[in-house]
């Protein structure tokens, strides 16, 4: 059972990792196209801020956690061979959330400009007007995101991962297409095409495609009434902590947008840096978290809590080894990576330096962003929703003065460093509570893996930086081709040093 479980988890992780990698690559392409057509500055800031209110409404309905909340409810019924009641539960919950999302979107529409004026103190009236228009375009997309999360939960509960990984791919392609159609040939291009692309991508990739995937996974209309189904109460018992406690994980980006708006182009630099940092987080940690969660929920439903704790520990060790290597490479190669990805069109050399600085400070936190995804899912699989929420809320409260203080001291780079400090505090506290509840003996292997991996990652980062700087100095140029060569060879150096030693391979396989 043990080895079969880990093999299934590994296969699922590979499927999700492949889809996530493609999605993240397209996300980078999306940012490259945006930097080329729009670039950092007032228009870019307006577009990124346009997602603030839609994202908040999504968080208010725990949209980011809908699959996490619904999967245990469905898994328990599938484990009991009661598919019909699982579908009644799904439709009873979905009906309420669909109505709630529509109501919130309709109510929010008239107040968008007043809200943006209040929370973006650095914006001019013209910027508020433009951001308001863009917000009203993308706001309805949240309805499709919420419904799509529910439909994705059906597939994950059935341990089917292929179609859910396609949703973000379609979403990114639609944004890229919308941006190109709306911006090419314009003397002063705006961001409307990107906004309309986001709405179309949410409808097609996140809703329509996932509806098809859920139907293929067995979803059917229920027989009999779905009113007063007990799963609705259970869903909200699990979801209310997530709705009320907006943790650091979901508010970190909003804090950066708020403080970043005080500098022209600041929101854009932070957004480019953050999204670049999140590529390895998504491929390594998010893929592992998404793939392992249904299996963790199944173990919890069967009462196999020790086996579940062991599975969490194995996933955390995997993430630590790979994410430390990713962090080392991204810190060492931030400048050539930024130049290769973004420096063209409206994105100039000064933007490259500013964005690369944020990447360095964001990248320090890559391992922490990864570990917290697995630990939080361990709590959610046990239906212990309050612990991550309370810890995350306290970390958010503590983070606000950190953001303000480091912004005053270091500017935009201080905001990126604040993000890393805050996620470190959150992950450390989450780990302490997790191992207190599951047994500190599970922390030992994780600690040993970390101690072995940090020196390797640090050495790899220094070697990659030296090689990269040597290439650029030796060739006497810092354009696209030289930067691509420096980043590529530097990345290979990191991989060779951190992932090839025999004890590292044994650690990942054991």
Cβ neighbours around 197 below 10 Å, total: 25
Q: What is the mean pLDDT of the chain?
A: 85
pLDDT of residue 509: 44
Q: Which residue has the higher pLDDT, 2 or 145?
A: 145
**pLDDT, tens digit, 9 for 90 and up, residues 53-75:** 887 777 666 556 677 788 888 98
Contact (CB, 8 A) for 453 and 324: yes
Tens of pLDDT along 142-175?
999 999 999 999 998 888 888 998 998 999 999 9
| Best CA proximity match to 292, nearest among 86, 23, 16 | 16
pLDDT score recorded for residue 501: 58
Predicted local distance difference test score (pLDDT) of residue 122: 75
Looking at residue 212, its pLDDT comes to 96
Alpha carbons 65 and 149: distance in angstroms, whole number: 8
pLDDT of residue 71: 86
DSSP 171: H
Q: List phi, psi (to 5°) of 74.
A: -70, -40
In this predicted structure, what is the pLDDT of residue 506? 52
**Selected residue with higher pLDDT from 131 and 7:** 131
Mean pLDDT of 119-127: 81
Q: Is 62 left (phi over 0), alpha (psi -120 to 50) or beta?
A: left
For residue 246, report the phi and psi dihedrals to the nearest 5 degrees.
Answer: -80, 95
- Phi, psi angle pair for 440, to nearest 5°: -70, -15
Q: Average of pLDDT values for 13-18? A: 75
Q: Are 28 and 275 in contact (CB under 8 A)?
A: yes
> What number of other Cβ atoms are within 10 A of residue 150's Cβ?
24
**Cα gap 27→154, rounded to integer Å:** 25
Helices (H), 158-223: 162-183, 192-201, 209-216
* Separation of alpha carbons 338 and 77, rounded Å: 48
pTM of the predicted model, to two decimals?
A: 0.73
Alpha-carbon span 217 to 212, nearest angstrom = 9
What's the confidence (pLDDT) of residue 244? 65
Summarised one tens digit per residue, pLDDT across range 179-211 is 888 877 666 677 889 999 999 999 999 999 999
* One-character DSSP codes across 341-368: HH-STT--HHHHHHHHHHHHHHHTTHHH
- Section 8-35 average pLDDT: 78
DSSP, res 221: P
């Amino acid at each position: 059972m043990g080895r079969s479980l880990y093999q299934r988890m590994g296969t699922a992780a590979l499927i999700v990792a492949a889809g996530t990698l493609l999605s993240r690559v397209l996300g980078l392409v999306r940012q490259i196209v945006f930097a080329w057509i729009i670039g950092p500055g007032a228009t870019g800031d307006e577009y990124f801020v346009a997602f603030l209110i839609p994202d908040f409404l999504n968080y208010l309905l725990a949209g980011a956690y809908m699959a996490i909340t619904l999967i245990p409810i469905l898994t328990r019924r599938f484990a009991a061979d009661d598919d019909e009641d699982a579908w009644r539960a799904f439709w009873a919950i979905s009906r309420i959330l669909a109505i709630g999302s529509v109501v919130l979107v309709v109510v929010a529409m008239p107040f968008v400009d007043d809200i943006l004026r209040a929370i973006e103190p650095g914006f001019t009236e013209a910027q508020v007007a433009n951001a308001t228009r863009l917000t009203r375009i993308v706001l309805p997309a949240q309805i499709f995101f919420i419904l799509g999360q529910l439909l994705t939960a059906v597939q994950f509960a059935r341990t089917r991962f292929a179609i859910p990984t396609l949703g973000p791919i379609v979403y990114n392609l639609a944004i890229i297409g919308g941006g190109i159609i709306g911006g090419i040939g314009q003397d002063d291009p705006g961001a409307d095409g990107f906004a309309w692309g986001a709405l179309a991508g949410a409808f097609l990739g996140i809703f329509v495609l996932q509806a098809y995937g859920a139907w293929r996974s067995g979803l059917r209309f229920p027989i009999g009434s779905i009113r007063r189904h007990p799963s609705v109460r259970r869903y909200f018992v699990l979801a209310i902590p997530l709705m009320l406690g907006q943790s650091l994980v979901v508010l970190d980006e909003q804090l950066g947008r708020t403080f970043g708006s005080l500098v022209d182009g600041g929101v854009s630099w932070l957004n480019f840096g953050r999204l670049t940092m999140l590529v390895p987080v998504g491929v390594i940690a998010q893929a592992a978290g998404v793939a392992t969660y249904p299996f963790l929920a199944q173990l919890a439903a069967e009462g196999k809590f020790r086996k579940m704790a062991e599975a969490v520990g194995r996933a955390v060790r995997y993430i630590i080894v790979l994410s430390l290597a990713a962090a080392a490479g991204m810190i060492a190669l931030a400048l050539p990576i930024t130049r290769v990805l973004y420096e063209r069109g409206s994105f100039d050399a000064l933007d490259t330096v500013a964005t690369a600085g944020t990447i360095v400070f964001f990248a320090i936190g890559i391992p922490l962003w990864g570990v917290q995804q697995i630990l939080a899912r361990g709590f959610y699989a046990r239906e212990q929703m309050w612990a991550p929420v309370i810890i995350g809320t306290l970390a958010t409260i503590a983070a606000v003065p950190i953001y303000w203080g480091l912004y005053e001291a270091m500017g935009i780079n201080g905001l990126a460093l604040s993000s890393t400090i805050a996620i470190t505090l959150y992950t450390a506290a989450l780990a302490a509570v997790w191992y207190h509840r599951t047994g500190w003996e599970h922390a030992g292997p994780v600690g040993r893996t970390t101690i072995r991996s940090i020196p390797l990652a640090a050495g790899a980062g220094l070697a990659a930086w030296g090689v990269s700087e040597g290439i650029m100095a030796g060739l006497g140029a810092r354009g696209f081709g030289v930067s691509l060569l420096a980043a590529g060879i530097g990345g290979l150096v990191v991989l060779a040093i951190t992932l090839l030693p025999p004890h590292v391979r044994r650690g990942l396989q054991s």
